[in-house]
Structure formats: structure tokens, C-alpha cells
Chain A
């Protein structure tokens, strides 16, 4: 089946630094990738949608300058959390889809900002 690999699975960073999270579709070309964030005791919330070769579409309330999303190829999208703060600590998950693949999720990244 389709596989989406997300890396790293866990990361701890200092406040003020930037962190990059990668999401790769391993055996299909992902025309669209989605980035979700999960706050404690809440459901996954969509942050942004990215289509290969174009700018990401951000959901209301998500700072595009803080959460930089790049989808430069059909198999890779990256989320960069810039100038991270402790309140950015969360669980981030990507999902990818193509014309034939509905949606598969990455393993998620646990970000802790200290």
C-alpha cells in the first residue's frame, strides 16, 4: 500500500530556532499534501494544504510566515516552524494524496520547544 514517511518522529529544539519537518510519499506521486496539528485533547486540525509547485493555502488563524510550507516535488513537502516558541510544541502530521490515492498519513512529528 501507499506509504508516507515523515521525519523526524521527535525533535526537541530551543526557543527561537527553526525546525524542518519532511513528508515524503514513497511509492506514489502526491499531488496534494496536507499538514495537520494536534493540540492536547483535541482532534487533528488542518493547518495548510499544499499542491506541488504552488504556494500553500493556509487555514484561518495559521501564520504563514511562521509555518513555512514547501512542496517542491511530487514526493516531498516540508514544514518549517520558524522562530519556534514553547506554544508551538505539538504533534504535527502530514498526509498525502494523488489522483488514485485518497489519503495516507505520515507517522507524525512530536515537536517540543524548550
Chain B
């Protein structure tokens, strides 16, 4: 049973615009969330995290929003750049132990 879901397999955005990637989870016990970026044949690259005591965390162009009541997580990239084109995974865990990953969203930023 998929506990973390990314319902959009792909997303295309114009360079300079905002990219919004969404993630839903089913288990209310999750208290730590991550977004990863992955290029083909490489390991995940950590982007940004958020714990359940917060509803927003910002790091440069990347902002993660957490809506606990809706069990929803989103990653905003502003402004989007062609180098952001990759597959983005969200992941959730209990206190940073085992992570449950979504299936990923492939982002294409069009120059």
C-alpha cells in the first residue's frame, strides 16, 4: 500500500515561472518529510526537509509547505531554471527512520 503518493508523474514549466510539486500521504504518524531531486542513474540529492512542527520551510528558491490536516506536502521552486529539470521525490518518515517514498514527479523546465 503506497503511503506516500505523487499523483502527477510529470510537470512542464516555463523558465522563470513557479514549479509546484505535490505530495499526499496517508499516515498521520509521519513527522518528518523530505524532498529529493534525482538525475538519471544517480542517487537522490537532498533538497529540503520539514518536520511536522512547522508548516513551511524555505531554502533559497525552494520552499516546502506542509498541511497536516490535509496530509499534503508541496514543493515550490521559484524561479524555475532549466537545471531544475529532474525527477523529484517526496518522502516521509517516523522520526527520520525508515522513509516511505512517493513515485516521483518528472519536472521539465522549458528554456
Q: Contact residues of A with B, CB < 8 Å?
A: 6, 10, 32, 34, 36, 41-46, 49, 91, 93, 95, 97, 102-108, 110
Contacts and interface: CB of A to CB of B under 8 A. Distances in A.
Given A34-B97, A43-B104, 7 more contacts: A6-B43, A36-B101, A43-B4, A44-B91, A46-B99, A46-B100, A108-B44
B32 A43 contact: no
Which 6 pairs between the two chains have the least Cβ-Cβ distance?
A108-B43, A102-B96, A107-B43, A43-B101, A44-B101, A43-B103
A104 to B, nearest CB: 7
Contacts of B103: 41-43
B98 interface: yes
B59 interface: no
Given A32-B97, A43-B101, A93 B43 contact: yes
Contacts of A107: 42-43
Given A34-B99, A44-B101, A46-B99, A104 B89 contact: no
B89 A46 contact: no
A102 B32 contact: yes
Contact of A46 (B41, B46, B96, B98): B98
A110 B93 CA distance: 25
B99 A103 contact: yes
Contacts of B108: none
Contacts of A93: 43-44
B49 interface: yes
Name the residue in B43, B44, B89, B98 with the highest tally of chain A Cβ atoms < 10 Å from its Cβ.
Answer: B43
Contacts of B100: 46
A32 B89 CA distance: 22
